[in-house]
């Protein structure tokens, strides 16, 4: 090419350099950054420019001229239209290398003196691994559909019954619901708007949550419809999303690492059971090697990591703002006889400064937005010699690590974990030491 891509022109030929976070393939025609969905590193492709800014552009893939050895046939017929997966066309080994690159690129400011990013801990299962999926319900071209939204479009749904991330039982739940809605027994104006299927992979439990934003919908048919598939069925109704148990106990049982958990409809739990256990064992192993007397777990959620920490520390204190999650963590402590697990409800930045008593280790597992300035200050002022940071977003991880490093908490170990095969997402554990 002799000129930067023009959105008004026809297809342009690009050589792909690498994958970047969010799953885009990156090319640099004449120095301008161009992001292409569906291409892979090393490929030569033809692409059509769809949007252009001053220093970058976005393009749709038209044709692969020279394919990468890592290219494979996607296992799902909806790939490319559905917004759920970005890397289903990419060999798994190449996915792992790309994710390692995402983390390394985000933390490149550490330079040669920083620790190397370890190879990504792979998932044994790359399909059918998700224990929780949510689907929208609506009419698509006159046909009832339980599906995921099309990529970059929220007004159209893609039928999710072929989705390769969910179990066969989850697929059957969607098929039954679509067939029932197509029967016309309930008019579309009274349909649920979403269905969530959640599974205890080690227990066989299955929870179906039906949700509606406004108005009402009948409760009667659902327990019979999902008989034999769900151990519990729950409805969420307006105006405030009140929960009504339609069948079963209203909770999901799960086991990880010898620990028992009871998960409610609104409780957060990692969506990849096997990798969650690896992640929790990894964190507990790093902490346990330090033989700490007290460990503080900020953004503890339902206390899953806190429970693993309680097995390797004298006392594990979890801090979580969401009341239902704190209750779930308390149930976990009772179920497993963890008398040294204590939960405190409150905002991490506000609660942590008041917790005196010498925490040798602080574990943080914040949401995608990372730690805000008050939370970073609270961690620094805790006096802990070691901080274990669990992150699902390399960009906010890098921001926070930079701030910690400037204050004397330097990274000593960086370990990515693949919790989300077929997507660009990557979990990262960083150990920081004073």
CATH number of the domain bearing residue 225: 2.40.50.1070
Give me the pLDDT at residue 1, please.
41
- Check which CATH number belongs to the domain holding 418 and give it: 3.40.50.150
pLDDT over 80 at 331, yes or no: yes
Give me the pLDDT at residue 7, please.
54
* 292 and 242 within one domain: no
Which residue range is the domain that position 51 belongs to?
A: 12-66
* 224 and 307 within one domain: no
- Asked, for residue 62, whether it belongs to a domain, the answer is yes
Model confidence band, residue 172 (pLDDT cutoffs 50, 70, 90): very high
* 304 and 237 within one domain: no
Window from 47-61, 279-293, 332-346, 382-396 with minimum mean pLDDT? 47-61
- Asked, for residue 86, whether it belongs to a domain, the answer is no
* 288 and 199 within one domain: no
Of 227, 254, 281, the last residue of a domain is 254
Give me the pLDDT at residue 216, please.
79
Which of the residues 76, 82, 90, 392 is marked catalytic? 392
Of 254, 287, 310, the last residue of a domain is 254
Count how many Cα atoms sit within 13 Å of the Cα of residue 382 in the half-sphere of its side chain.
31
With pLDDT > 70 as the criterion, what percentage of the chain qualifies? 97
Give me the pLDDT at residue 4, please.
55
- Asked, for residue 279, whether it belongs to a domain, the answer is yes
Model confidence band, residue 9 (pLDDT cutoffs 50, 70, 90): low
Give me the pLDDT at residue 2, please.
36
* 151 and 120 within one domain: no
- Cα three-residue angle 75-76-77, rounded to 5 degrees: 125
* 136 and 38 within one domain: no
Strands 341-345 and 315-320, bridge-based pairing: parallel
* 155 and 242 within one domain: yes
* 282 and 248 within one domain: no
Residues 107, 411 contacting (CB under 8 angstroms):
yes
Query: What is the pTM for the complete model shown?
Result: 0.93
* 390 and 293 within one domain: yes
Give me the pLDDT at residue 5, please.
56
* 375 and 245 within one domain: no
Average pLDDT over residues 364-369: 96
Average pLDDT over residues 312-338: 95
Task: List pLDDT tens digits, range 179-225.
Answer: 999 999 999 989 999 999 999 999 999 999 999 888 878 898 999 99
Q: What sign results for the dihedral spanned by CA atoms 67, 152, 135, 305?
A: positive
- Give DSSP secondary structure letters for 116-178: PBPPPB--S-SSS-BSEEEEEEEEETTEEEEEEEBTT-SS-EEE-TT-SSS-HHHHHHHHHHH
Give me the pLDDT at residue 419, please.
97
Which helix (H) or strand (E) segment holds residue 108: the answer is none
pLDDT over 80 at 91, yes or no: yes
Decide which of 212 and 120 is more confident: 120
DSSP structural state of residue 22: T
Average pLDDT over residues 88-93: 97
Number of structural domains found in the chain = 3
CA 266 vs CA 12, 182, 219, 302, 307: distances in Å: 47, 29, 19, 10, 19
- Check which CATH number belongs to the domain holding 38 and give it: 2.40.50.140
Of 223, 254, 285, the last residue of a domain is 254
* 180 and 57 within one domain: no
Largest CA distance in the chain: 69
- Asked, for residue 6, whether it belongs to a domain, the answer is no
> Is 82 a catalytic site residue?
no
- Asked, for residue 245, whether it belongs to a domain, the answer is yes
- Asked, for residue 2, whether it belongs to a domain, the answer is no
| Helix, strand, coil abundance in the chain, percent, nearest 5 | 25, 30, 40
* 175 and 227 within one domain: yes
């Amino acid at each position: 090419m002799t000129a930067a891509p023009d959105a008004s022109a026809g297809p342009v030929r690009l050589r792909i350099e690498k994958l970047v976070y969010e799953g885009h393939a990156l090319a640099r025609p004449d120095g301008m950054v161009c992001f292409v969905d569906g291409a892979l590193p090393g490929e030569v492709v033809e692409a059509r420019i769809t949007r252009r800014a001053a220093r970058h552009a976005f393009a749709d893939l038209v044709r692969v001229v020279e394919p990468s050895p890592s290219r494979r046939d996607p296992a799902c017929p909806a790939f490319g239209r559905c917004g759920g997966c970005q890397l289903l066309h990419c060999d798994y080994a190449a996915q792992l290398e790309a994710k390692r690159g995402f983390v390394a690129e985000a933390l490149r400011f550490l330079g040669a003196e920083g620790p190397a990013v370890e190879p990504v801990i792979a998932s044994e299962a790359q399909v059918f691994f998700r224990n929780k999926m949510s689907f929208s319900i609506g009419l698509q071209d006159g046909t009832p559909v339980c599906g995921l939204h099309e990529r970059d479009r929220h007004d159209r749904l893609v039928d999710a019954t072929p989705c390769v991330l969910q179990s066969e039982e989850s697929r059957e739940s969607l098929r039954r619901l679509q067939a029932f809605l197509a029967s016309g027994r309930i008019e579309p104006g009274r349909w649920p708007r979403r269905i969530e299927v959640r599974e205890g992979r080690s227990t066989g439990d299955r929870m179906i949550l039906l949700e509606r934003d406004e108005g009402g919908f009948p409760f009667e048919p659902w327990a019979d419809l999902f008989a034999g598939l769900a151990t519990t069925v729950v409805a969420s109704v307006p105006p405030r999303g009140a929960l009504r148990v339609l069948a079963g106990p209203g909770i999901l049982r799960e086991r990880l690492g010898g620990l028992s958990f009871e998960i409610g409809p609104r409780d957060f739990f990692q969506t990849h059971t096997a990798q969650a256990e690896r992640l929790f064992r990894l964190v507990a192993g790093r902490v346990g090697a330090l033989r700490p007397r007290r460990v503080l777990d900020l953004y503890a959620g339902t206390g899953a990591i806190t429970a693993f920490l309680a097995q390797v520390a004298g006392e594990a204190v979890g801090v979580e703002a969401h009341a239902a999650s704190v209750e779930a963590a308390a149930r976990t402590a009772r179920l497993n006889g963890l008398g040294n697990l204590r939960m405190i409800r409150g905002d991490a930045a506000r609660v942590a400064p008041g917790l005196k008593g010498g925490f040798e280790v602080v574990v943080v597992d914040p949401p995608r937005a990372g730690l805000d300035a008050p939370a970073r200050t609270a961690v620094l002022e805790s006096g802990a010699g070691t901080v274990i940071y669990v992150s699902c977003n390399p960009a906010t991880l890098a921001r926070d690590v930079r701030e910690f490093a400037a204050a004397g908490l330097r990274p000593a170990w960086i370990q990515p974990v693949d919790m989300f095969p077929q997507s660009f997402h990557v979990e990262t554990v960083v150990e920081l030491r004073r």
